[in-house]
């Protein structure tokens, strides 16, 4: 592989990294905190690419010290191709359907809920799910909450209209965990579309029987909304 081509690849990866980091694209894959790291490494790669390219052209294309880094370097084109050929998207129903949901014991002491805004308490799916399962103070009882997520089809045979879903990530999309809440009472719009739902928690009558049951919400209002800039919790 000629030196100019190699350095072009480095430069390309650097530029793409910078683009992914400065636009909102990165949020489909990794957490916001990665931005400075991605910017720094993108800059380094651009630097190395430019220097390498200039060096190669100045040497006139004949480099005795040319030890090519092996054909594997071509593979770096793949992520660039993938990112440009496919509209970037966050994880969706496909991944959500393959999750496992197991509950922990209700033994946590949750603080009381904050004040409602516009008639409902805003809450992330993580907090809702966790409070529903583990809060021994049952702070969700009788309160209207507002949740945001995307629509996932409910399991066959369940009496829920749909599953409100959002992914929580620790590191990057590779470790994503689906948070799901059964929504009752309002029909679900198209799968994968994002909605904002307000409603009240439906307490499970026999919590011990089904370790895999999802928390449930009786919906009062349902409003379509756009995918948030940060799709993951």
Partner 1 sequence: MTAVFLRAPLERFFESPALRNWVTIFLAIVIQALPFLVLGVVLSGAIAALVPPEWLARVIPKNPALAVPMAGLAGVALPGCECGAVPIAGRLVSRGAPAPAALAFLLSAPAINPVVMVATAVAFPGKPAMVVARFGASLATAVIVGFLWTKIGREAWVERARRRVSHGGSRFEMFTETAEHDFLHAGGFLVVGGITAAMLQTIVPRSLLDSVAGSGLLAVATLAVLAVVLAICSEADAFVAAGLFQFSFTSRLVFLVVGPAVDVKLISLQVGTFGRSFALRFAPLTFVVAIGTSLIAGWLLL
What does the binding site for partner 1 look like in residue numbers (CB under 8 A)? 6-7, 9-10, 13, 17, 20, 26, 28-30, 34, 37-38, 40-41, 44-45, 48-49, 51-52, 55, 65, 67, 69-76, 78-79, 81-95, 98-100, 102, 104, 170-175, 177, 212
If the CB atoms of residues 194 and 202 are measured against partner 1, the closer one turns out to be 194
Closest separation in Å from C-beta 127 to partner 1? 15
Q: Shortest distance, CB of residue 87 to partner 1, whole angstroms?
A: 7
Rounded least distance, CB 111 to partner 1, Å: 16
**Shortest Å, Cβ 28 to partner 1:** 7
Q: Which CB, 72 or 156, lies closer to partner 1?
A: 72
Three-state SS string over 7-41 comes to: HHHHHHHHHHHHHHHHCHHHHHCECHHHHHHHHHH
CB of 217 to partner 1, least distance (A): 22
Residue 185 or 228 with smaller CB distance to partner 1: 228
Residue 53 or residue 146: which is nearer to partner 1 going by CB? 53
In the bound state with partner 1, the residue whose beta carbon lies nearer, of 64 and 115, is 64
């Amino acid at each position: 592989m000629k030196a100019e081509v190699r350095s072009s690849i480095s430069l390309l990866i650097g530029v793409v990294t910078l683009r992914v980091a400065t636009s909102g694209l990165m949020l489909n894959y990794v957490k916001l905190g990665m931005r400075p790291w991605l910017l720094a490494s993108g800059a380094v790669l651009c630097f190395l690419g430019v220097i390498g390219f200039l060096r190669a052209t100045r040497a006139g294309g004949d480099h005795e010290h040319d030890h090519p880094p092996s054909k594997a370097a071509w593979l770096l084109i793949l992520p660039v191709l993938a990112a440009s050929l496919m509209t970037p998207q966050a994880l969706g129903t496909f991944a959500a359907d393959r999750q496992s949901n197991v509950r922990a014991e209700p033994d946590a002491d949750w603080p009381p809920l904050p004040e409602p805004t516009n008639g409902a308490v805003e809450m992330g799916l993580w907090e809702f799910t966790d409070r529903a399962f583990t809060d021994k103070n049952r702070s969700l009882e009788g309160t209207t909450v507002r949740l945001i997520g995307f629509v996932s089809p409910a399991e066959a045979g369940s009496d829920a209209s749909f599953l409100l879903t959002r992914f929580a990530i620790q590191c990057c999309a590779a470790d994503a965990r689906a948070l799901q809440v059964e929504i009752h009472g309002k029909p679900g719009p198209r799968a994968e579309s994002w909605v904002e739902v307000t409603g009240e928690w439906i307490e499970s009558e026999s919590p011990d029987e089904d370790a895999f049951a999802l928390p449930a919400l009786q919906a009062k209002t349902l409003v379509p909304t756009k995918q948030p800039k940060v799709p993951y919790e």
